[in-house]
Amino acid sequence: MKIKIITFGCSNNLAEAEVMAGLLKSAGHEIVENGEDLRVVNVCSVKGPSLNKGLKEVRSSPVPVIVTGCIPKEEVDNIKSIRHDISLLSTHNIEKIVDVAEYLFDGITTINVEKKNMNKVCLPKLRKNSMISVVPISSGCYGSCSYCSVKLIKGDLFSYDKELVVKEVKDSLNEGCKEIWLTSQDNGAYGLDKNSSLPELLNEILKIKKDFKVRLGMTNPQYVCKYLNEFIEIFRDEKMFKFLHMPLQSGSNRVLKDMNRPYKVEDYLKAVKMLKQHHPMLTVSTDIIVGYPIETEEDFNLSLHVIKDSKPDVLNLTRYWPRPNTPAAKYKMLDGTLVKQRVQRALEIFKEIALKNNLGWVGWSGDVLIDEAGKNGTFIGRNFAYKPVIVKGDYELGQKVKVKIKKVTAYELFA
């Protein structure tokens, strides 16, 4: 059977798509880009538009469809009604993908959306990029943010066994991977349910005697603050990309409190300041939600102030979208035109900051790890701070290249 997999959403969704592809291939099926007998659409429902994109693929499919990924409970009947030749397989049940696919190919639809905990590591995997291993370290969430449906879908925090995560990393390196991306709904919460911690896991991974780099995925501010001294030391290790994704979400403490985010703006700023003191070239990525229902002009201006003050290298600006059954969904949404204008204002400020940050890299010389083919005969490499460096030439994935930065944009460095 020929199967096409289409994935939306975060790196955790990508990891689960790679596992499903690996399981299907191990069962003798072929993963294809065209000419499929069956289609798997791995959806993301963090925002309404994200889910709608996935469901558009479901509706337009010329062949039977399995919908996988973050499927909200309240959407099950709606998704099921889209077409007659559809099966549902939630994020908690990906190990059943082969059975579900073979049943559907024979005309039998199934629904598997019950919640359960399982270690989603050390499973067969077919990678999108042979140089990058996306390693999930946990599932679920320790927090209860008022605007977010992740906990409703993924459930409570379930940290994967440390020994299994480390084994997955070792296996990936033995298979030729050069980058390890640690991913979950919140890496910082790892181990809180198992008398362990993220720094403990990282230190075990960094002991592995191989030539590789680790990219730490999203880690919420309360955990960066909790382990601040440990992070300062961990980032000294050459195997760590000097990169941190720490989502602030709002520059207003009033809004953060309503969001049920368990930290203050001052905590975020302190963490950035301390980390930058010890690691001046650290790449800081953050997220801001624009248009949260109680956000006033003053609240938004506070977010702009934090952007200017903390000078992030990467900023993910997201318009607020209500998610069913979340506390924030009861609020009246702000005017769409106003929110769009706010996003644009924040983007313009950030672009100036990002360009200024990147200008500081002009003239830098050092190694980059080629991990992606670019456009028009170029390749993309990552330096020690996970900065994307565009290089021209004939290179191979996984190759280390000595470069010198000649010019930059707000988003890229050119060697």
Regarding whether 152 and 256 lie in a shared domain, the answer is yes
Regarding whether 143 and 77 lie in a shared domain, the answer is no
Q: What is the pLDDT of residue 99?
A: 96
Task: Look at residue 391 and tell me if it is in a domain.
Answer: yes
Distance CA 13, CA 70 (A): 8
CATH number at residue 60: 3.40.50.280
Regarding whether 165 and 53 lie in a shared domain, the answer is no
Regarding whether 336 and 224 lie in a shared domain, the answer is yes
Global pTM value: 0.91
Regarding whether 196 and 159 lie in a shared domain, the answer is yes
Regarding whether 267 and 139 lie in a shared domain, the answer is yes
Q: Let me know: does 280 contact 305? Beta carbons within 8 Å.
A: no
Task: Look at residue 123 and tell me if it is in a domain.
Answer: no
The pLDDT tens digits for 344-357 are 999 999 999 999 99
CA distances 138 to 120, 164, 190, 203, Å, are 8, 11, 7, 17
Task: Look at residue 357 and tell me if it is in a domain.
Answer: no
CATH number at residue 327: 3.80.30.20
The pLDDT tens digits for 106-146 are 999 999 988 888 888 889 999 989 999 999 999 999 989 99
Which of 84, 112, 140 is the last residue in one of the domains?
112
In this predicted structure, the answer to whether residue 52 has a pLDDT above a threshold of 90 is no
Number of domains in the chain: 3
Structural domain range at position 380? 364-414
Regarding whether 97 and 35 lie in a shared domain, the answer is yes
Regarding whether 271 and 148 lie in a shared domain, the answer is yes
Identify the band that residue 75 occupies on the pLDDT scale cut at 50, 70 and 90: confident
Task: Look at residue 118 and tell me if it is in a domain.
Answer: no
Q: What is the pLDDT of residue 118?
A: 84
Please give the average per-residue pLDDT across 21-34, as a whole number.
Answer: 95
Q: Let me know: does 64 contact 24? Beta carbons within 8 Å.
A: no
Nearest alpha-carbon partner for 218 in 186, 191, 180: 186
In this predicted structure, the answer to whether residue 72 has a pLDDT above a threshold of 90 is no
Task: Look at residue 354 and tell me if it is in a domain.
Answer: no
Sign of the dihedral through C-alpha 183, 186, 190, 193: negative
The pLDDT tens digits for 291-306 are 999 999 999 999 999 9
Regarding whether 374 and 339 lie in a shared domain, the answer is no
Q: What is the pLDDT of residue 80?
A: 92
Task: Look at residue 126 and tell me if it is in a domain.
Answer: no
Regarding whether 226 and 88 lie in a shared domain, the answer is no
